[in-house]
Amino acid sequence: MTSTSHKPLDLLIVGAGPAGLSAAIVGARYGLHVLVLDEFPEPGGRMLGQFHEENGGWWVGKREAERLVAECKALGVDICCSLSVYGITRTDRHWIVRTTQGSKSAVNVLIATGAAEIPCPCPGWTLPGVMSIGAAQVMTNVHYVKPGERGLIIGANMLALAIARELAVSGVVLIGIVLPSPGPLAGADASPRQQLKRLLGLASLAPSTLLRIGGKLANSLGLAGVALRLLPRKGLNIWGVPLQLRTAAVSINGEQQVESVTLANLTHDGKMITGSEREVKVDFVALAGGLYPLAELAAVAGCPFDFAVELGGHIPLHDEQMRTPLEGLYVAGNITGIESAQVAMAQGRLAALSICGEMNRLGEYPDKLLQDGLADVRQVRASALIQFQPGISLAREQIYQKFRAFQETRV
Amino acid sequence: MERIVNHPILGPRKDSRREVSFTFNGQRLTGLEGEPVAAALLAAGIRIWRRHEESGSPRGLYCAIGHCMECRLLVEGMGLARACLTPLKANMQLAEGPQLPNEITGRKLT
């Protein structure tokens, strides 16, 4: 794939993660010529490093990825890895997508680029040995190399807890999960009260108790009380990792790389207790700031955006069928809001149905198929084990309303 | 850092990648063919991959998936490349990303 081919592709998908691969399968089933592009050397996206307990067994993202890739291959979907997409422009009839291996033209483009991690800077965070928590996950579960001998996680959000579990199971030594130090950058992330509320709020949302951590926290504290006084200083033991909601990381220290962290105690409302600082030896630190939608490509394409804190940040405007206001441009997966891989897969399938519907490929009952696709996403979302923020469904409804309002202004 | 041979949930590495040798700043090391240079260096216990272009302070892996560009290092024949997305090849010659002189401030490398 070196130059713009003469006949545009039916569907070009950016991102070979759960959303992109699922969309490719549905598109190919309805006869579309589909190409999937991804920057990572192998397809599967971040699913490659994810696993969690579900219904008494392990949900293993790598196996899901292998299943999706095999199905893509069987259907003749082209998957190209190790290349980057850096531009997208529209001609009067189709999209031109610029990649590090030439340009491609396509009638429809699905942007399924997923999410990136929110940086959470603190003194010493540029030292080698400090990494985003996703990096620790990828090194351990995808490349099979431990991120270090002894580590600390800074940031107590859903992402941190889910990955802490994976790292603990994989034999990586973690001395604890602590809060970032109070300051303008950390905001509510550095307040024990806010964090506890947030974690408990999420726990109550998850039908089968979020990774069981919700249950553990709720049992330890009593859901109603949120009594921070009861939080032990040394932390709650979560799968052998102390979750220390009354401790903050003041700095990461080292001459050339990470040698230690300085920790301090916090008051209930998140103020540092002077004189409580102490140095603890670690050789790596994982920063967990949460995820935000990786949406630059949609911006480059000219898609309007809206901000929704529940969805993780700036979201390309889209409707429930995954259409953006731009002709032939669709979005699916974490670019539309931070949720689990299962939701991304359902969104991918729905996006492909929308595209096939637009191209009159859905046969006799297109509306029925689209309705089923919509119901599929709603059902998967309602039963999702991992929810990153409360209020996702409501926030999504507001995005769809804004999409409708935007479309009306253009008529 | 330690390599995981048999992952308790994900099982053993499926692909039996062959061991190849490469160099970093002239030091001879071994890694697995096709794994990212980042994984090979980390497994060899090397974390400092770059000197900040202006300050010269040490830098290394940050995001591991190509987003942050922190892990750029010199790959012979390629120039600066992201360690996390560059597959290791036999006899690859790598060097840390160097501090640069600054034409505007007049700062020269000592």
* Residues in chain A within 8 Å Cβ distance of B33: none
CB-based contacts of A106, cutoff 8 Å, min separation 6: A8, A9, A10, A11, A12, A35, A94, A95, A97, A328
How far from the centroid of its chain's Cα atoms is residue A55's Cα? 22
Strands A241-253 and A260-265 turn out to be antiparallel
> pLDDT, tens digit, for every residue of B67-99?
999 999 999 999 999 999 999 999 999 999 999
Residue A75 burial (10 A CB sphere; 0-12, 13-18, 19+) = middle
Q: φ and ψ at A382, to 5 degrees?
A: -65, -30
Q: Which chain B residues have a beta carbon less than 8 Å from that of A60?
A: 9-10
Q: Check if B31 contacts A (Cβ < 8 Å).
A: no
**Encoding tokens for residue A350?**
């729905």
Substitution target in A99, A139, A296 with the highest count of B β-carbons within 10 Å is A139
Measure A114 CA to nearest chain B CA, in Å: 12
10 Å CB burial of residue B44 (0-12, 13-18, 19+) is: middle
**Nearest CB to A144 within list B7, B57, B58:** B7
Min Cα distance B107 → chain A (Å) is 22
Q: Which amino acid is at A117?
A: E
Residues of B in contact with A131 (CB under 8 A): 61-64
- Give φ, ψ of A17 to 5 degrees: -95, -165
B78 in A contact zone (CB under 8 Å):
no
Q: Is B17 on the interface with A (CB under 8 A)?
A: no
CA distance A262 to A252: 6
The interface residues of chain A toward chain B in range 187-216, judged by CB-CB distance below 8 A, are none
Per the DSSP assignment, residues forming a β-bridge with A331 are A111
Give the side-chain half-sphere CA count within 13 A for B82. Answer: 17
CB contact under 8 A, A145 and B49: no
Q: What is the CA radius of gyration of chain A?
A: 22
SS3 state at A103: strand
Distance from CA of B92 to the nearest CA of A (A): 18
Contact B8 A39 (CB under 8 A): no
Chain A closest CA to B23's CA: distance in Å? 19
Nearest CA in chain A to B15: A143
Amino acid at A377: V
Residuewise pLDDT in 10s, chain A (411 residues) = 444 457 899 999 999 999 999 999 999 999 999 999 999 999 999 999 998 887 778 889 999 999 999 999 999 999 999 999 999 999 989 999 999 999 999 999 999 999 999 998 999 999 999 999 999 999 999 999 999 999 999 998 888 888 998 999 999 999 999 999 887 666 666 667 666 666 655 544 333 333 444 445 555 444 434 455 556 677 777 778 888 888 999 999 999 999 999 999 988 777 889 999 999 999 999 999 989 999 999 999 999 999 999 999 999 999 999 999 999 999 999 999 999 899 999 999 999 999 999 999 999 999 999 999 999 999 999 887 656 566 888 999 999 999 999 999 986
Selecting from A126, A138, A169 the residue whose C-beta is nearest the C-beta of B59 gives A126
Measured distance CA(A38)–CA(A18) in Å, rounded: 12
Q: What is the ipTM of this complex?
A: 0.96
Q: Residue A1: is it exposed, middle or buried by C-beta count within 10 angstroms (0-12/13-18/19+)?
A: middle
Give which of A117, A118, A131 to mutate to test B binding, by max B Cβ within 10 Å: A131
Beta bridge partners of B93: B23
Alpha carbon of A52: minimum distance to chain B alpha carbons (Å): 10
Contacts of B7 in chain A (CB under 8 A): 141, 144, 170
Q: Which of A117, A148, A256 sits opposite B63 (nearest CB)?
A: A117
Contact B58, A128 (CB under 8 A): yes
Q: With beta carbons under 8 A apart, name residues in chain B contacting A138.
A: 64-65, 84
Distance CA A397, CA A336 (A): 12
User: How far A221 CA lies from chain B's nearest CA (Å)?
Assistant: 31
pLDDT of residue A193: 66
How many Å lie between the alpha carbon of B62 and the closest alpha carbon of chain A?
4
| List of residues 6+ apart from A283 with CB closer than 8 A | A129, A148, A149, A150, A151, A257, A258, A259
Structure pTM?
0.91
Identify each DSSP E strand in A254-370 by its residue range. 260-265, 278-281, 284-287, 291-293, 305-308, 313-316, 329-331
Interface of A with B in 44-73 (CB under 8 A): 46, 51, 58, 60, 62
The set of residues, in sequence order, having a beta carbon less than 8 Å from that of A210 and lying 6+ positions away, is: A158, A202, A203, A385, A386, A387
Angle between helices A341-358 and A18-29 (to 10 degrees): 30
Instruction: Report residue B64 as tokens.
Output: 């591991």
Residue A41: phi, psi to the nearest 5?
Answer: -65, -20
